Amino acid sequence: MKILSKTLNKINIFLENNPKITIYFPQFLIILVLTIIISYFSLNASTNMAARGIETGFAFLKNKASFDIQFSLIEFDSNDSYARAYLVGLLNTLLVSGIGIFFATVIGFFVGIIRLSTNILASKVAEAYIEIFRNIPLLLQIFFWYFAVLRLLPSSENSLILFDFVFANIKGIYVPRFVWTNFNFLTYGLVVSILAIYIFRFYSKKKQDLTGVQVPTFTTSLIIFVVINLLFIIIGNVGLSLTYPVLETNRGIHNYSGGVSVIPELIALAFSLSLYTSTFIAECVRAGILGIDKGQKEAAASIGLSKSQILKLIVIPQALRIIIPPVTNQYLNLTKKFIFSSRNCLPRYCFSFCWYCVDANWQSNRNCLDYDAYILNFKYINFTVYELV
- Least distance in angstroms from the C-beta of 159 to other proteins: 20
Report the C-alpha gap between 288 and 268 in whole angstroms.
30
Give dist(CA 334, CA 104) in Å, integer: 9
Q: Are 103 and 276 spatial neighbours (Cβ–Cβ below 8 Å)?
A: no
| Total residues in contact with other proteins, by rule CB under 8 A | 53
Q: How far is the CB of 12 from other proteins (least distance, A)?
A: 9
Q: Find the shortest distance in angstroms from Cβ 361 to other proteins.
A: 11
23 near other proteins, rule: CB under 8 A: yes
Question: Which residue stretches of the chain are H helix?
Answer: 2-17, 19-52, 82-115, 120-134, 138-143, 183-211, 217-236, 264-290, 294-302, 307-309, 316-345, 355-364, 370-388
Query: Sheet of 172-175: strands edge to edge?
Result: 160-162, 166-169, 172-175, 260-262
The window from 45-53, 73-81, 102-110, 255-263 that contacts other proteins (CB under 8 A) reads 45-53
Closest CA to 371 of 49, 72, 39: 49
Instruction: Pick between residue 98 and residue 216 the one whose CB is nearest to other proteins.
Output: 98
User: Measured from the CB of residue 124, what is the shortest distance to other proteins in angstroms?
Assistant: 9
Residue 143 half-sphere exposure, CB side, CA atoms within 13 Å?
A: 7
- Within 61-120, the residues that bind other proteins by CB under 8 A are 117-120
Give the binding range for other proteins (CB under 8 A) out of 178-186, 226-234, 246-254, 371-379: 371-379
Name, in order, each residue with C-beta under 8 angstroms of 334's C-beta and a sequence gap of 6 or more: 97, 100, 101, 104, 273, 277
* Residues in 115-144 at the binding interface with other proteins, rule: CB under 8 A: 117-122, 125, 131-132, 134-141, 143-144
208 binds other proteins (CB under 8 A): no
How far is 297 from 276, CA to CA, in rounded Å?
Answer: 32
The reply on whether position 26 binds other proteins by CB under 8 A is yes
Applying CB under 8 A, the residues found at the interface with other proteins are: 23, 26-27, 30-31, 34, 41-42, 44-45, 47-49, 51, 54, 117-122, 125, 131-132, 134-141, 143-144, 147-149, 151, 336-337, 339-340, 343-344, 362, 368, 371, 374-375, 378-379, 382-383
